[in-house]
Chain A
Amino acid sequence: MDQGIATSPRIGDRPRPKKNYLNETKGFWSWAATLDHKRIGIMYLVGVLTSFLMGGIFALLVRLTLLTPSHKLFGKVLLTAEQYNRVFTLHGAIMVFLFIIPAIPASLGNFVLPLMLGAKDVAFPRLNLFSFYLWLTGAIMAIAAMVFGAVDTGWTFYTPYSTTTDGPVTLMTAAVFVLGFSSIFTGLNFIATVHKLRAPGMGWFDLPLFIWGIYATAIIQVLATPVLGITLVLLMLERSFGIGIFDPRIGGDPVLFQHFFWFYSHPAVYIMILPGMAIISELIPTFSQKTIFGYRAIAYSSVSLALVSFIVWGHHMFVAGQSQLATVVFSALTFLVAIPSGVKMFNWMLTMHKGNIKLDTPMLYAISFLTMFAIGGLTGIFLGTLATDVHLTDTYFVVAHFHYVMVGSTVTAFIGGLHYWWPKMTGRMYSEAWGRVGCALWNIGFNMTFLTQFFLGSKGMPRRYYNYLDQFQPLHAFSTVGSWILGLGLFITAAYLLASLRKPMDAPDNPWNGTTLEWKTSSPPIMHNFEEQPVLEREPYDYRPVLVAK
């Protein structure tokens, strides 16, 4: 199955084992009560992709409603203003809490991390399963909230609206609370695993950069999410008992809610991007067949990004009523947080330089990431600059910025990683031709949808608004058409990936000539991951041919 990569003699390719983690045990309970990190990862994958579909449908609805200022489709109003508020809130809450925060760490991370470490499982397998059921419980609670009338506060639950509005706010925040604990326990598990379950010979600076990224993410998950937890509890109590912390009518401080909320939610966006960057750090060296440029710089930048992310949250509150002093301080610190990201971007590009580049689908997504993150990251700096933020805040500019980083970067990396590890997880290769089609549509559709929104925002279109001036209609329409192309691209991607599952298993152990330990075992891996405990013998990302002694 030569993918055209110039490789060393493919060592370690042996007959596919009859039993692997997918078929070794069968039946509902063998999955529902599994302690195997790979099965748990697959269950998460199905869950988060379903959530992505749900959130995506809401997104399409939002865009469809905004196609014309009259909100009509085929002569009938698609959504009323109140319904619109609920739909965009659900889009945000589902995408943030059910999809993007768990997605890479809990699905790909769970599957790949122990394999990359040469371990048999994560540190606490039962906690891992418990994390999954917490996610599922939170997801069910969120769906219940949807059924009971849904929430219209925006995913940020700003007070005092969220403390006084009708609707199942308490149920929705309780759902997010439960999801938060799922995230905490996943992070806890990963930190312990990386510290203690590395293969013999694998020191900290032998770790694949994917591990460094997931580790940095886990630090944020453990330290930031509890504050979200207490924030939501305080919100629920304010609603139910009027404790007087956030509602100004009873003496509370609404800006304090925002401090509490963003103390978690800013680091949360690094929970979203760091795993994406972690994947890119794997894709680029493998598909350039060249060792990563600046390994330590990327490793240190991952951890420093995680730590610095905790001291910039006020940049979400520049015009919220925060003091001028805090505003200036947070703005200055926000410039600081851009530096580690910049380091990574340059290092990835320098890795590609003079590499033996193979433009397989995962690499196409990685390159897409580089362009989209450049735009997303840079526009973040525009928003972090006080003078420009005063004009751009709460406009579509912000919406475009965060979609470029969350969707254009993280989801792009997620899809790239999904393709990269698809052969390992399923034992099948997908159709490369269709992969390129999907990636092309993704790029066209995404940029059509969201590049437009930068212009919408800078021209003054506010975010979360149902009504808009007629002059914005062409741009809105263009963006909506882009969303259809985006949806089509994702649909095609899902179709060919699922279609590949109907083939017999055809994937070799190491289709991409990767150097990390997961490629040393079969595709798909056996239940216990490795026949024999792997011992690390080479530096990470060493693509020189291995000379096999005769």
Chain B
Amino acid sequence: MSTTSVDLQTHGHPAAHAGEHAHDPHHQHHFTTMEQQFDTSKIGMWLFLATEVLLFGGLFVGFGMMQARYPREFVEAHTHLVRWQGALNTVVLLISSFTMVLAVQAAKKSEKGKQVLFLGLTILCACIFLVVKYFEYSHKYEEGWLPGRFYSYKGDSIPACHAAPPGEAAAAAPAANAAPCTNGYATFFSFYFMMTGLHGFHILAGIAVLTWILFRAKRGEFSASYYTPVDLVGLYWHLVDLIWIYLFPLYYLIQ
């Protein structure tokens, strides 16, 4: 850090300083150097990612607690998820993380063509993920494996309670069933849709931001001297991948 007095008022304006490096159009005036600005942006992004970890983490905690509460129903409900679809989505996201990091590298090296290519591939992978998700969701809808009070699947080994309103439940209590009715299945699918839904929403947001970055990259905005947005969006995208890395085993591999 410089220990000499720097005139805050006029720093950054080329006309006032002969001998200063040319003013980068992205240089914000409250930062002394571009490097300081880049480092600060990185810290800001990591802080945001930490908040996302805790946001999703809350859902993981809820899922864990409910799994402990309804172990039988959760294990049985797991069987309705198709493993190869989850695995395919995992692979697709991992590849998209790879293409993303290559895009950042290309931006760092001022290689415009590669930036556009890899950003495009990342977006493509994200879209494939959403297509697979669409097939998964529509199958669930057909079978009635829906969240909360919309759950209507009849093939569970333990009957669900939600179907009857409180007043009728007592009257209609089936004497044949030894086990009490539970709602574990509905809860499982509530969590399934909440977690994959929130994750899917983050994928959508990611596609939107990546598209915007793609257009900026096409215009040649990013180079070795300024590639911060690509780097930061990359970090966000890796987080989306990270969350799926934990979602996948929890939902698709426990049986």
Contact = CB atoms under 8 A, between A and B. Distances in A.
- Is A–B contact present in the complex under a CB 8 A cutoff? yes
Interface of A: 119-125, 127, 184, 188-189, 191-192, 195-197, 200-201, 222-227, 229-231, 234, 237-238, 241-245, 249-253, 256, 260, 528-533, 535
A245 B30 contact: no
B7 interface: yes
B55 A222 contact: no
B228 interface: no
Contact of B55 (A230, A530, A535): A230
A242 B9 CA distance: 58
A120 B66 contact: no
Contact of B40 (A184, A195, A200, A227): A195
Given A200-B3, A223-B54, A242-B148, A256 B62 contact: yes
Interface in B130-172: 147-150, 161-162, 166
Interface in B217-254: none
B166 A249 contact: yes
25 contacts: A120-B29, A188-B44, A191-B47, A195-B40, A196-B39, A197-B36, A200-B1, A201-B3, A222-B51, A223-B50, A223-B51, A226-B52, A226-B55, A230-B56, A241-B150, A243-B191, A244-B66, A244-B162, A250-B161, A251-B69, A251-B187, A252-B187, A260-B58, A260-B61, A530-B8
Given A120-B8, A250-B186, A533-B8, A244 B51 contact: no
B30 A251 contact: no
Given A229-B55, A243-B148, A260-B58, 4 more contacts: A123-B40, A227-B57, A243-B147, A244-B190
A75 to B, nearest CB: 43
Given A191-B47, A237-B190, A533-B6, A125 B30 contact: yes
Interface of B: 1-3, 5-9, 28-31, 36, 39-40, 43-44, 47-48, 50-52, 54-59, 61-62, 65-66, 69-70, 147-150, 161-162, 166, 182-184, 186-187, 190-191, 194
Contacts of A256: 62, 65
Given A123-B40, A192-B47, A250-B161, A241 B149 contact: yes
Given A123-B40, A227-B58, A243 B187 contact: yes
Contact of B184 (A200, A226, A230, A251): A251
- Residue in B5, B8, B30, B187 with the greatest tally of chain A CB atoms within 10 Å: B30
A147 B6 CA distance: 53
A241 B7 contact: no
Contacts of B57: 227
A188 B47 contact: yes
Nearest to A184: B51
A192 B36 CA distance: 11
Given A200-B2, A200-B3, A226-B51, A528 B8 contact: yes
A183 to B, nearest CB: 11
Contacts of B36: 196-197
Given A226-B55, A250-B162, A260-B58, A244 B47 contact: no
A119 B59 CA distance: 39
A215 to B, nearest CB: 12
Nearest to A246: B62
Contact of B186 (A122, A124, A200, A244): A244
B51 A121 contact: no
Nearest to A199: B1
Nearest to A229: B55
Given A197-B40, A245-B62, A256-B65, A121 B30 contact: yes
A245 B190 contact: yes
Contacts of A123: 30, 40, 43-44
A242 B47 CA distance: 33
A241 B30 contact: no
B143 to A, nearest CB: 18
B179 to A, nearest CB: 13
Contacts of A249: 166
B187 A245 contact: yes
Contacts of B182: 251
A231 B66 CA distance: 15
Contacts of A196: 36, 39-40, 43
